[in-house]
Structures are given as structure tokens and as C-alpha cells.
Amino acid sequence: MFSKAFPNDAAPVTFENLEGHRGFRGDLDYSCRPLDQYLDDDGYALTDQQKAELKLFIEKGCSSCHNGINVGGQDYFPFGMIKGQPKACSEGRQGSFFRHQGSRR
């Protein structure tokens, strides 16, 4: 992405270029999206189906992690970076995540 945005830079990933990218993203106007309009008190911005899905999203607790701009979340979770093997919690458990050999294909 940075090499396309900064084709004349031998090493395009720099703090200066990152700040330029952040400035560009900050200037984007998200107010035209239906969800943002709905959250800004426009009760007609979403369809009834979309409102039902949003209600389910909130009731199931999804919004506790998926929140903020773009509903992408604001925290960092290093999934996949845990080192070592977890201990087996039962005799039938093999590998890290599966209870039997056939599931690991």
C-alpha cells in the first residue's frame, strides 16, 4: 500500500508517510453512511431488517468489542501469537484444539 502511495520513496514506510496517511483518513467523511445517520438520530436511515440486526448485534454483546469508527474495535488482541503448546485438559484431547485426530485435517 505504501509503495503505491509513495512510489518515489525507496523505503516508503516512514513516520512522515504514516502521518500523511492518517491525515487523509481523518479527512474522510463517514456521515453519509446509513448506520452513522441512524446513530445521529435519523430513525429512517436503516431498514427494519437492519434495525433488527443492529438490535441483535447489541443484545448479543458484539458491540462490547466491535465499536468505534467502522465498528472495528479499538483494542489489540495478539491472537495467534501465543507461544508453546497448551496442556491437554482431557485424555481425549490431542494437539492444541481438537479432541480427535480426524478433526485436524
27 pLDDT more than 80: no
What nine digits make up the cell of 44? 429512517
Q: How many helices (H) and strands (E) does the chain have?
A: 4, 0
What is the 3-state secondary structure of 35-82?
HHHHHCCCCCCCCHHHHHHHHHHHHCCHHHCCCCHHHCCCCCCCCCCC
Distance CA 37, CA 51 (A): 13
Q: What is the mean pLDDT of residues 71-87?
A: 68
Q: How far apart are CA 56 and CA 67, in angstroms?
A: 14
Domain range annotation of the chain: 1-64
For 21-30, 31-40, 45-54, 93-102, which range has the lowest pLDDT when averaged over its residues?
93-102
Split at pLDDT 50, 70, 90, the class of 74 is confident
Specify the pLDDT at position 85: 62
pTM of the model: 0.46
* pLDDT single digits (tens) 31-47: 678 888 888 899 999 99
Work out the average pLDDT over 52-58: 93
Q: Is 101 a residue whose pLDDT tops 80?
A: no
What is the C-alpha separation between 49 and 39, in angstroms, rounded? 16
On average, the pLDDT of the chain sits at 75
